[in-house]
Amino acid sequence: MEVVDLTHVLSPGTPLFPVYDPVRVAEKFALASDGFNVNTWTFDEHSGTHVDAPSHFADGATSVDRLDPADLVLPLAVLDLRERVAGDEDAEVVPDDVLAWEREHGPLPQRCAILVDTGWAARIGDPGAFINADDSGILHSPGLGAEVCEFLVAQRPGVRAVGMDTGSLDIGPSADFAAHVAWLPTGRYGLECVANLDRVPRAGATLVVGVIPFEAGSGGPARILALT
């Protein structure tokens, strides 16, 4: 078994959705003066590689600390959108992408997660390219369409999580966060800023999501692994 780390290192240089504050790290105690090392970290819940809990877009919905642990270890299906994104930075995942995966690999597992490899993770070292805002401040990046989220909820209800290697489940120019709205309030969760999907087989891996159970949290940074 190979373990593939799907997590970007969290640091003050981590690219973030523009409404969030930068990650900050400060030394609190030092070995030389205090006998041990401790840093103080300050970050918004949705920083770096992280979980979007249902409560992120629905009051009273499941918070990150109340996610079913069984939903944090799931068979993994990886959709490959790299070719389409090379020609369209705002490409959307649609139901046909799921159906194409099933034609090649068979039906989705009864309970599973779907992650989308767009190649965007390669931009993580260049915050400007990762956020990809145009001169008007509009972001451009691929994402899930509301239609595919609605399709999965209605036709593939065993899918418990979806995720992107971009900074959002939605396409960059989205103004209404339609994918978030269609997906999270149904009690399912999302993953954003996922790394190394090019190293994961399109079918047959197992996803492991190690997220801190922040009390009443709308999400939080996570260590995400694929077992292949």
The active-site residue, picked from 46, 56, 105, 140, is 56
* Residues whose CB is less than 8 angstroms from the CB of residue 74 and which lie 6 or more positions away in sequence, other chains included: 109, 111, 112, 113, 160, 161, 206, 207
What lies within 8 Å, CB to CB, of 29 at 6+ separation is 35, 36, 37, 38
Both tokens of residue 117?
């490899």
Residue 139 DSSP symbol: B
| Residue 50 falls in the annotated catalytic set | no
To the nearest 5 percent, what fractions of the chain are helix, strand and coil?
25, 30, 45
Q: In one letter, which amino acid is 16?
A: L
CA–CA separation, 40 and 134 (whole Å):
34
Are 76 and 128 in contact by the 8 Å Cβ rule? The answer is no
Tokens of 132: 């990809």
Tell me which residues are annotated as active site. Answer: 56
